Amino acid sequence: MTEELPELRRVGIIGMGYVGLTLAAAMADRGYEVHGVDTQSAVLDSLSRGRPHIFEPGVEEVFGEWVGRRIFLSPDLPDGGVDAAIICVSTPVNEGDHEPYLGNLAAAAEHIAKRCSPDTLIVVRSTVPVGATRAVVLPRLLDAWGSARVVMAPERTIQGQALRELVELPQVVGGLDDESLELGLKLFGGLSKQLVPVSNLETAELVKLTNNCHTDVIYSFGNEVARLTESLGLDPLEVIRATNLDYPRPDIAKPGYVGGGCLSKDPYIMLAGAERSGYELPLIRAARRINEDLPVHVAERLVDLLGDPAGRTVFVLGWAYKGWPPTDDMRGTPIASMTPIFEAAGVKVVGHDPLVTADVIKRYGGEPVDLETGFAQADAVLVITDHPQYRALDVDALLTGSAVKLVYDSWRVLDGDKVEGHGIRYTGLGFEPAAEPEVAR
Protein backbone atom coordinates (compact mmCIF):
# COMPACT_ATOMS: atom_id res chain seq x y z
CA MET A 1 0.00 0.00 0.00
CA THR A 2 2.91 2.34 0.67
CA GLU A 3 3.54 2.86 -3.07
CA GLU A 4 -0.04 4.14 -3.51
CA LEU A 5 0.12 6.73 -0.78
CA PRO A 6 -0.37 10.29 -2.06
CA GLU A 7 2.24 12.98 -1.75
CA LEU A 8 1.64 15.10 1.33
CA ARG A 9 3.49 18.32 0.58
CA ARG A 10 0.70 20.92 0.88
CA VAL A 11 -0.14 21.29 4.55
CA GLY A 12 -2.45 23.52 6.55
CA ILE A 13 -1.56 24.38 10.13
CA ILE A 14 -4.49 25.60 12.21
CA GLY A 15 -3.27 27.75 15.09
CA MET A 16 -0.20 29.96 14.86
CA GLY A 17 0.72 29.86 18.52
CA TYR A 18 4.04 28.43 19.63
CA VAL A 19 3.35 24.88 18.42
CA GLY A 20 1.95 25.89 15.03
CA LEU A 21 4.46 28.66 14.45
CA THR A 22 7.52 26.48 14.99
CA LEU A 23 6.06 23.59 13.00
CA ALA A 24 5.27 25.94 10.11
CA ALA A 25 8.86 27.20 10.09
CA ALA A 26 10.35 23.71 10.29
CA MET A 27 8.15 22.29 7.53
CA ALA A 28 8.69 25.25 5.21
CA ASP A 29 12.42 24.90 5.72
CA ARG A 30 12.12 21.24 4.64
CA GLY A 31 10.29 22.10 1.43
CA TYR A 32 6.62 21.82 2.39
CA GLU A 33 4.05 24.35 1.19
CA VAL A 34 2.57 25.64 4.45
CA HIS A 35 -0.76 27.41 4.90
CA GLY A 36 -0.90 28.92 8.37
CA VAL A 37 -4.34 29.66 9.78
CA ASP A 38 -5.20 31.81 12.79
CA THR A 39 -8.22 33.74 14.03
CA GLN A 40 -6.17 36.72 15.24
CA SER A 41 -5.67 39.30 12.50
CA ALA A 42 -2.74 40.92 14.33
CA VAL A 43 -0.89 37.60 14.36
CA LEU A 44 -1.53 37.06 10.66
CA ASP A 45 -0.45 40.61 9.79
CA SER A 46 2.79 40.28 11.72
CA LEU A 47 3.62 36.88 10.27
CA SER A 48 2.78 38.05 6.74
CA ARG A 49 5.50 40.66 7.16
CA GLY A 50 7.95 37.97 8.27
CA ARG A 51 7.81 39.13 11.89
CA PRO A 52 6.88 36.29 14.28
CA HIS A 53 4.94 37.39 17.36
CA ILE A 54 6.73 34.80 19.52
CA PHE A 55 10.48 34.63 20.09
CA GLU A 56 12.10 31.37 19.04
CA PRO A 57 15.63 31.16 17.63
CA GLY A 58 15.65 30.70 13.86
CA VAL A 59 11.93 31.21 13.25
CA GLU A 60 12.16 34.83 12.14
CA GLU A 61 14.84 33.96 9.59
CA VAL A 62 12.71 31.16 8.11
CA PHE A 63 9.61 33.34 7.88
CA GLY A 64 11.62 36.17 6.38
CA GLU A 65 12.83 33.85 3.64
CA TRP A 66 9.68 31.86 2.85
CA VAL A 67 6.61 34.06 3.50
CA GLY A 68 4.76 34.39 0.20
CA ARG A 69 6.78 31.58 -1.35
CA ARG A 70 6.33 28.52 0.86
CA ILE A 71 4.49 30.08 3.80
CA PHE A 72 1.04 31.59 3.31
CA LEU A 73 -1.09 33.11 6.08
CA SER A 74 -4.88 33.39 6.20
CA PRO A 75 -7.86 33.16 8.57
CA ASP A 76 -9.05 30.13 6.53
CA LEU A 77 -7.61 27.07 4.89
CA PRO A 78 -7.22 27.51 1.11
CA ASP A 79 -10.21 26.86 -1.17
CA GLY A 80 -8.56 23.89 -2.82
CA GLY A 81 -7.95 22.19 0.50
CA VAL A 82 -4.65 20.72 1.63
CA ASP A 83 -3.03 17.29 1.68
CA ALA A 84 -2.79 17.39 5.47
CA ALA A 85 -4.46 19.65 8.03
CA ILE A 86 -2.59 19.87 11.33
CA ILE A 87 -4.45 21.09 14.41
CA CYS A 88 -2.16 23.14 16.68
CA VAL A 89 -4.73 25.21 18.58
CA SER A 90 -4.42 26.01 22.28
CA THR A 91 -6.09 23.73 24.82
CA PRO A 92 -5.95 25.79 28.03
CA VAL A 93 -7.35 24.78 31.38
CA ASN A 94 -9.96 26.85 33.18
CA GLU A 95 -8.57 29.04 35.94
CA GLY A 96 -11.00 27.89 38.60
CA ASP A 97 -11.48 24.12 38.28
CA HIS A 98 -8.53 23.45 35.93
CA GLU A 99 -10.82 21.58 33.53
CA PRO A 100 -9.44 21.46 29.96
CA TYR A 101 -11.16 23.79 27.50
CA LEU A 102 -11.52 22.00 24.16
CA GLY A 103 -13.62 24.58 22.32
CA ASN A 104 -10.69 25.56 20.09
CA LEU A 105 -10.15 21.91 19.19
CA ALA A 106 -13.79 21.49 18.21
CA ALA A 107 -13.77 24.73 16.19
CA ALA A 108 -10.65 23.64 14.30
CA ALA A 109 -12.24 20.29 13.43
CA GLU A 110 -15.38 22.04 12.18
CA HIS A 111 -13.32 24.42 10.03
CA ILE A 112 -11.43 21.51 8.51
CA ALA A 113 -14.68 19.66 7.82
CA LYS A 114 -15.93 22.65 5.81
CA ARG A 115 -12.73 23.34 3.88
CA CYS A 116 -11.28 19.88 3.25
CA SER A 117 -12.36 16.40 2.17
CA PRO A 118 -12.14 12.79 3.39
CA ASP A 119 -8.90 12.49 1.38
CA THR A 120 -7.20 15.01 3.67
CA LEU A 121 -5.04 13.63 6.47
CA ILE A 122 -6.09 15.24 9.76
CA VAL A 123 -3.35 15.54 12.38
CA VAL A 124 -4.03 16.48 15.99
CA ARG A 125 -0.90 18.04 17.48
CA SER A 126 -2.47 19.99 20.33
CA THR A 127 -2.12 18.50 23.78
CA VAL A 128 -5.45 16.90 24.71
CA PRO A 129 -6.93 14.58 27.35
CA VAL A 130 -6.72 10.92 26.45
CA GLY A 131 -9.67 10.16 24.19
CA ALA A 132 -10.25 13.73 22.95
CA THR A 133 -9.12 13.12 19.36
CA ARG A 134 -11.67 10.34 19.03
CA ALA A 135 -14.39 12.11 21.03
CA VAL A 136 -14.05 15.72 19.85
CA VAL A 137 -12.34 15.78 16.44
CA LEU A 138 -13.43 12.55 14.77
CA PRO A 139 -17.24 12.95 15.14
CA ARG A 140 -17.19 16.35 13.42
CA LEU A 141 -15.29 14.91 10.48
CA LEU A 142 -17.51 11.85 10.21
CA ASP A 143 -20.66 13.96 10.35
CA ALA A 144 -19.40 15.95 7.36
CA TRP A 145 -17.69 13.25 5.33
CA GLY A 146 -18.73 9.80 6.52
CA SER A 147 -15.08 8.71 6.75
CA ALA A 148 -11.82 10.30 7.84
CA ARG A 149 -8.06 9.79 8.02
CA VAL A 150 -6.85 10.89 11.45
CA VAL A 151 -3.61 10.69 13.41
CA MET A 152 -2.38 12.05 16.71
CA ALA A 153 1.23 13.27 16.52
CA PRO A 154 2.13 15.16 19.72
CA GLU A 155 4.54 18.08 19.85
CA ARG A 156 7.34 17.52 22.40
CA THR A 157 9.86 20.30 21.79
CA ILE A 158 11.51 22.60 24.29
CA GLN A 159 11.38 26.35 23.80
CA GLY A 160 14.66 27.70 22.53
CA GLN A 161 15.49 24.53 20.61
CA ALA A 162 12.28 23.82 18.71
CA LEU A 163 13.57 23.92 15.13
CA ARG A 164 16.33 21.47 15.94
CA GLU A 165 14.16 19.18 18.02
CA LEU A 166 11.37 19.04 15.44
CA VAL A 167 13.88 17.30 13.21
CA GLU A 168 15.90 15.35 15.77
CA LEU A 169 13.37 14.20 18.36
CA PRO A 170 11.56 10.92 17.67
CA GLN A 171 8.09 11.74 16.30
CA VAL A 172 5.35 9.63 17.85
CA VAL A 173 2.40 8.92 15.55
CA GLY A 174 -0.80 7.08 16.44
CA GLY A 175 -3.48 6.46 13.82
CA LEU A 176 -7.21 5.90 13.68
CA ASP A 177 -6.49 2.93 11.41
CA ASP A 178 -3.64 1.44 9.40
CA GLU A 179 -4.17 3.76 6.44
CA SER A 180 -4.16 6.85 8.65
CA LEU A 181 -1.01 5.67 10.40
CA GLU A 182 0.84 5.08 7.13
CA LEU A 183 -0.11 8.54 5.91
CA GLY A 184 0.97 10.11 9.20
CA LEU A 185 4.33 8.38 9.01
CA LYS A 186 4.77 9.54 5.42
CA LEU A 187 3.95 13.13 6.34
CA PHE A 188 6.39 13.34 9.23
CA GLY A 189 8.97 11.20 7.46
CA GLY A 190 9.81 14.31 5.46
CA LEU A 191 10.53 16.23 8.65
CA SER A 192 11.73 14.01 11.49
CA LYS A 193 14.74 11.72 11.53
CA GLN A 194 13.04 9.03 13.62
CA LEU A 195 9.40 7.93 13.66
CA VAL A 196 7.70 6.00 16.44
CA PRO A 197 4.41 4.43 15.31
CA VAL A 198 2.06 3.48 18.15
CA SER A 199 -1.07 1.37 18.08
CA ASN A 200 -3.79 4.01 18.39
CA LEU A 201 -4.72 7.65 18.92
CA GLU A 202 -4.99 7.32 22.68
CA THR A 203 -1.48 5.95 23.12
CA ALA A 204 -0.03 8.94 21.27
CA GLU A 205 -2.12 11.32 23.39
CA LEU A 206 -0.83 9.74 26.60
CA VAL A 207 2.80 9.85 25.44
CA LYS A 208 2.78 13.66 25.45
CA LEU A 209 1.07 13.88 28.83
CA THR A 210 3.41 11.30 30.34
CA ASN A 211 6.49 13.19 29.14
CA ASN A 212 5.43 16.48 30.68
CA CYS A 213 3.94 15.12 33.90
CA HIS A 214 7.10 13.11 34.53
CA THR A 215 9.12 16.30 34.14
CA ASP A 216 6.82 18.10 36.56
CA VAL A 217 7.30 15.33 39.14
CA ILE A 218 11.08 15.36 38.75
CA TYR A 219 11.24 19.11 39.33
CA SER A 220 8.86 18.93 42.26
CA PHE A 221 11.21 16.56 44.09
CA GLY A 222 14.09 19.00 43.79
CA ASN A 223 11.80 21.73 45.06
CA GLU A 224 10.71 19.54 47.97
CA VAL A 225 14.36 19.02 48.92
CA ALA A 226 14.90 22.79 48.80
CA ARG A 227 11.97 23.46 51.10
CA LEU A 228 13.47 20.97 53.54
CA THR A 229 16.99 22.45 53.40
CA GLU A 230 15.52 25.90 54.00
CA SER A 231 13.97 24.68 57.25
CA LEU A 232 17.16 22.85 58.25
CA GLY A 233 19.58 25.66 57.40
CA LEU A 234 21.37 23.59 54.75
CA ASP A 235 22.39 24.29 51.15
CA PRO A 236 20.20 22.41 48.61
CA LEU A 237 22.77 22.67 45.84
CA GLU A 238 25.43 21.11 48.06
CA VAL A 239 23.06 18.31 49.02
CA ILE A 240 22.04 17.66 45.40
CA ARG A 241 25.60 17.84 44.05
CA ALA A 242 26.78 15.30 46.60
CA THR A 243 23.72 13.13 45.98
CA ASN A 244 24.26 13.00 42.23
CA LEU A 245 28.06 12.79 41.98
CA ASP A 246 29.01 9.50 40.29
CA TYR A 247 25.97 7.81 41.80
CA PRO A 248 24.50 5.29 39.31
CA ARG A 249 20.85 6.22 39.88
CA PRO A 250 18.61 8.94 38.38
CA ASP A 251 19.87 12.44 39.19
CA ILE A 252 17.98 14.76 41.50
CA ALA A 253 16.87 17.97 39.78
CA LYS A 254 18.01 21.34 41.10
CA PRO A 255 15.26 23.44 42.66
CA GLY A 256 13.60 25.93 40.36
CA TYR A 257 10.36 27.43 39.13
CA VAL A 258 8.24 25.27 36.85
CA GLY A 259 6.11 27.05 34.27
CA GLY A 260 5.54 27.42 30.57
CA GLY A 261 2.61 26.54 28.37
CA CYS A 262 2.98 22.80 28.89
CA LEU A 263 4.04 22.07 32.45
CA SER A 264 1.60 24.55 33.95
CA LYS A 265 -1.43 22.90 32.29
CA ASP A 266 -0.64 19.40 31.01
CA PRO A 267 -0.76 17.80 34.48
CA TYR A 268 -4.33 19.10 34.80
CA ILE A 269 -5.17 17.69 31.37
CA MET A 270 -3.82 14.32 32.47
CA LEU A 271 -5.69 14.54 35.77
CA ALA A 272 -8.96 15.32 34.01
CA GLY A 273 -8.65 12.35 31.69
CA ALA A 274 -7.63 10.04 34.51
CA GLU A 275 -10.60 11.03 36.65
CA ARG A 276 -12.99 10.28 33.80
CA SER A 277 -11.41 6.83 33.50
CA GLY A 278 -11.95 6.22 37.21
CA TYR A 279 -8.38 6.58 38.44
CA GLU A 280 -6.91 9.33 40.58
CA LEU A 281 -3.32 10.51 40.10
CA PRO A 282 -2.18 11.59 43.59
CA LEU A 283 1.49 11.95 42.65
CA ILE A 284 0.77 14.19 39.66
CA ARG A 285 -1.56 16.36 41.74
CA ALA A 286 0.93 16.68 44.59
CA ALA A 287 3.79 17.59 42.23
CA ARG A 288 1.74 20.34 40.63
CA ARG A 289 0.78 21.71 44.03
CA ILE A 290 4.43 21.81 45.16
CA ASN A 291 5.58 23.57 41.98
CA GLU A 292 2.75 26.09 41.98
CA ASP A 293 3.36 26.94 45.63
CA LEU A 294 7.07 27.69 45.15
CA PRO A 295 6.79 31.23 43.73
CA VAL A 296 4.20 32.09 46.37
CA HIS A 297 6.53 30.83 49.08
CA VAL A 298 9.48 32.80 47.68
CA ALA A 299 7.48 36.02 47.54
CA GLU A 300 6.33 35.54 51.12
CA ARG A 301 9.89 34.78 52.29
CA LEU A 302 11.22 37.86 50.52
CA VAL A 303 8.61 40.03 52.22
CA ASP A 304 9.54 38.52 55.58
CA LEU A 305 13.26 39.01 54.99
CA LEU A 306 12.68 42.68 54.19
CA GLY A 307 11.56 43.14 57.78
CA ASP A 308 9.41 46.24 57.27
CA PRO A 309 8.38 45.81 53.61
CA ALA A 310 6.02 48.76 53.12
CA GLY A 311 7.56 51.31 50.80
CA ARG A 312 10.51 49.07 49.90
CA THR A 313 11.54 48.46 46.28
CA VAL A 314 12.28 45.01 44.86
CA PHE A 315 14.12 44.72 41.56
CA VAL A 316 12.96 41.57 39.74
CA LEU A 317 15.34 40.11 37.16
CA GLY A 318 13.50 37.78 34.77
CA TRP A 319 9.80 37.97 33.90
CA ALA A 320 9.47 35.16 31.38
CA TYR A 321 8.81 31.73 32.82
CA LYS A 322 12.43 30.70 32.27
CA GLY A 323 15.78 32.14 31.26
CA TRP A 324 17.45 29.21 29.55
CA PRO A 325 16.95 28.51 26.74
CA PRO A 326 15.94 32.19 26.49
CA THR A 327 12.27 32.93 25.83
CA ASP A 328 9.73 35.73 26.11
CA ASP A 329 6.94 33.29 27.03
CA MET A 330 4.93 34.45 30.05
CA ARG A 331 2.72 31.38 30.38
CA GLY A 332 3.14 29.96 33.87
CA THR A 333 5.57 32.71 34.85
CA PRO A 334 6.44 32.83 38.57
CA ILE A 335 5.94 36.60 38.72
CA ALA A 336 2.19 36.20 38.18
CA SER A 337 1.90 34.56 41.61
CA MET A 338 4.39 36.89 43.26
CA THR A 339 3.16 40.39 42.40
CA PRO A 340 -0.12 40.12 44.36
CA ILE A 341 1.90 39.29 47.48
CA PHE A 342 4.26 42.21 46.92
CA GLU A 343 1.34 44.57 46.30
CA ALA A 344 -0.43 43.43 49.49
CA ALA A 345 2.78 44.10 51.46
CA GLY A 346 3.19 47.59 49.98
CA VAL A 347 6.32 46.65 48.04
CA LYS A 348 7.13 48.49 44.83
CA VAL A 349 8.29 46.20 42.02
CA VAL A 350 10.63 47.28 39.24
CA GLY A 351 11.63 44.78 36.60
CA HIS A 352 13.94 43.77 33.79
CA ASP A 353 13.98 40.95 31.26
CA PRO A 354 16.22 40.62 28.19
CA LEU A 355 13.31 39.55 25.97
CA VAL A 356 10.02 40.47 27.66
CA THR A 357 8.78 43.87 26.50
CA ALA A 358 8.15 46.85 28.78
CA ASP A 359 4.40 46.78 28.22
CA VAL A 360 4.22 43.14 29.33
CA ILE A 361 6.24 43.91 32.50
CA LYS A 362 3.75 46.69 33.25
CA ARG A 363 0.82 44.37 32.65
CA TYR A 364 2.20 41.98 35.27
CA GLY A 365 2.59 44.69 37.88
CA GLY A 366 6.13 45.96 37.42
CA GLU A 367 7.81 49.17 36.35
CA PRO A 368 10.31 48.38 33.57
CA VAL A 369 13.85 49.67 34.17
CA ASP A 370 17.34 48.99 32.89
CA LEU A 371 19.82 47.03 34.99
CA GLU A 372 21.72 50.00 36.35
CA THR A 373 18.56 51.85 37.37
CA GLY A 374 17.08 48.77 38.98
CA PHE A 375 20.11 48.13 41.17
CA ALA A 376 20.31 51.81 42.07
CA GLN A 377 16.66 51.98 43.18
CA ALA A 378 16.28 48.64 44.91
CA ASP A 379 16.25 47.65 48.56
CA ALA A 380 16.26 44.00 47.46
CA VAL A 381 17.01 42.12 44.24
CA LEU A 382 15.09 39.01 43.22
CA VAL A 383 16.61 36.92 40.42
CA ILE A 384 13.82 34.75 38.96
CA THR A 385 15.43 33.35 35.80
CA ASP A 386 18.87 32.02 34.91
CA HIS A 387 19.18 34.02 31.70
CA PRO A 388 22.80 34.09 30.43
CA GLN A 389 22.82 37.89 30.71
CA TYR A 390 22.27 37.60 34.46
CA ARG A 391 24.99 35.00 34.85
CA ALA A 392 27.41 37.50 33.32
CA LEU A 393 26.46 40.47 35.52
CA ASP A 394 29.28 42.47 37.10
CA VAL A 395 27.80 42.46 40.60
CA ASP A 396 30.67 44.49 42.03
CA ALA A 397 29.94 47.36 39.66
CA LEU A 398 26.17 47.15 40.08
CA LEU A 399 26.19 46.89 43.88
CA THR A 400 28.85 49.50 44.62
CA GLY A 401 27.10 52.46 46.19
CA SER A 402 23.67 50.84 45.98
CA ALA A 403 21.13 50.63 48.81
CA VAL A 404 20.50 46.92 48.24
CA LYS A 405 20.40 44.96 51.51
CA LEU A 406 19.17 41.59 50.23
CA VAL A 407 19.70 39.51 47.09
CA TYR A 408 17.42 36.51 46.59
CA ASP A 409 19.09 34.64 43.73
CA SER A 410 16.65 31.86 42.89
CA TRP A 411 19.02 29.97 40.59
CA ARG A 412 22.28 30.98 42.31
CA VAL A 413 23.68 32.44 39.11
CA LEU A 414 25.39 35.42 40.76
CA ASP A 415 28.68 35.29 42.65
CA GLY A 416 27.42 34.98 46.21
CA ASP A 417 30.80 35.79 47.75
CA LYS A 418 30.96 39.07 45.85
CA VAL A 419 27.42 39.94 46.90
CA GLU A 420 28.23 39.27 50.55
CA GLY A 421 31.44 41.23 50.16
CA HIS A 422 29.26 44.34 49.89
CA GLY A 423 27.63 43.54 53.23
CA ILE A 424 24.50 42.27 51.49
CA ARG A 425 22.63 39.15 52.54
CA TYR A 426 22.65 36.47 49.80
CA THR A 427 19.90 33.84 49.68
CA GLY A 428 18.22 31.55 47.16
CA LEU A 429 15.76 28.72 46.77
CA GLY A 430 16.09 26.60 49.90
CA PHE A 431 19.23 28.51 50.86
CA GLU A 432 19.02 30.96 53.75
CA PRO A 433 22.30 31.07 55.65
CA ALA A 434 22.28 32.89 58.96
CA ALA A 435 21.83 36.62 58.56
CA GLU A 436 23.27 39.60 60.33
CA PRO A 437 20.93 40.84 63.08
CA GLU A 438 19.36 43.57 60.92
CA VAL A 439 18.83 42.57 57.27
CA ALA A 440 16.97 45.60 55.99
CA ARG A 441 17.79 49.00 57.45
For position 151, what pLDDT does the model report?
98
pLDDT in tens, 16-41: 999 999 999 999 999 999 999 999 99
Q: What is the spatial distance between Cα 354 and Cα 272, in angstroms, rounded to a whole number? A: 36
Q: Which structural domains are found in the chain, ordered by start?
A: 2-200 (3.40.50.720), 209-441 (3.40.50.720)
**Amino acid making up residue 79:** D
For position 440, what pLDDT does the model report?
42
| Largest Cα–Cα separation, the chain | 79
CB 151 within 8 A of CB 123: yes
Beta strands per DSSP E along 91-155: 121-124, 149-152
Q: What is the spatial distance between Cα 180 and Cα 195, in angstroms, rounded to a whole number? A: 14
Give the residue ranges of the chain where pLDDT is below 70. Answer: 1-4, 435-441
pLDDT in tens, 262-313: 999 999 999 999 999 999 999 999 999 999 999 999 999 999 999 999 999 9
